Amino acid sequence: MLRIIDLSILIQTNMPNFSVLPKVKINKIRSIEKEGDEVRTIFMPSHVGTHIDAPSHQVAGGARIDELPIEKFLGNAIILNYPNKNNCDNTLISLKELERYKNKINENDIIVINTGSYKNPGSFDKFGYISQEAAKFFVDKKISLLAVDSPSVDLNVPEGKKMPVHQIILGAGIPIIEGLTNLDKIKEERFFFIGLPINIKDSDAVPCRAIAIEGLTI
Ligand SMILES: [Zn+2]
């Protein structure tokens, strides 16, 4: 039997996000009572909630959202569980901690990392993230996509400085999904993952609806 788990954060006006980015604003501009139909405008930064980072977010000349093959965003996935990495300072996932998954990760896998950070959705300065060595390990494994529950795979990089983990992953042409939620609802280690980007021209990132499907293998 298939079990579908929604891994996406609800997008709403004034939702928490990085302080350097403008707030989400969703406004009703037509109503059934007045105009006969209901319509909204949606204003949001490209990085908000559960979203995909394209290589062009950090790498000059890197692929943009609309240039990435759709195949990258769905496929067989494995969850790596580090649920106690949330809401702490400097709690990176090291290469040593990845050791136990070393032989379980296949080429083209989608990697989902549970750091427990999704339990603190308003925390944008304390969350689990990964080390540069761990990032290189994923590149060497030729994964298809890296998806995490943290708002970023890098922690507290000062404005104007390059983000080293983003650089390694995106530099290898691997997109990143940040801001997954509900990861405790995933019961199987392997499952089918779908997190499709809305196709926006030239975009460096875009919110997505990410789901896990248990009981489906292809
Ligand atoms: Zn992002």
Topology of domain 3-9+46-214 in CATH is Glucose Oxidase; domain 1 (3.50.30)
The pLDDT of residue 67: 98
The CA 137 to ligand 1 mean position distance, Å, reads 21
For CA atoms 112, 113, 118, 122, the dihedral sign is negative
The pLDDT of residue 158: 79
pLDDT tens string for the chain (218 positions)?
Answer: 899 999 999 999 999 998 899 999 999 999 999 999 999 999 999 999 999 999 999 999 999 999 999 999 999 999 999 888 765 555 678 888 899 999 999 999 999 999 988 988 888 888 888 999 999 999 999 999 999 999 988 887 778 888 999 999 999 999 999 999 999 999 999 999 999 999 999 999 999 999 999 998 77
The CA 48 to ligand 1 mean position distance, Å, reads 7
63-69: Cβ within 8 A, 24+ apart: 63/173, 64/201, 64/202, 64/203, 64/204, 65/197, 65/199, 65/200, 65/202, 65/203, 65/204, 65/205, 65/206, 66/199, 66/200, 66/201, 66/202, 66/203, 68/175, 68/197
Alpha carbon separation from 176 to 25, 34, 82, 110, 197 (Å, rounded):
25, 42, 18, 10, 11
The CA 171 to ligand 1 mean position distance, Å, reads 14
The pLDDT of residue 174: 97
The pLDDT of residue 88: 56
The CA 102 to ligand 1 mean position distance, Å, reads 26
Where along the chain do its domains lie? 3-9+46-214
Length of the chain: 218
The pLDDT of residue 129: 85
The pLDDT of residue 54: 98
Say how many Å lie between the first and final Cα of the chain, rounded: 15
Taking every pair of Cα atoms in the chain, the longest distance, rounded to a whole number of angstroms, is 61
CA angle centred on 97, ends 83 and 125, rounded to 5°: 50
The CA 52 to ligand 1 mean position distance, Å, reads 6
The pLDDT of residue 136: 96
What is this structure's pTM?
0.94
Alpha carbon separation from 49 to 6, 18, 106, 148 (Å, rounded):
13, 10, 28, 12
The CA 187 to ligand 1 mean position distance, Å, reads 26
The pLDDT of residue 13: 98
Q: What are phi and psi of 53, to 5 degrees?
A: -95, 125
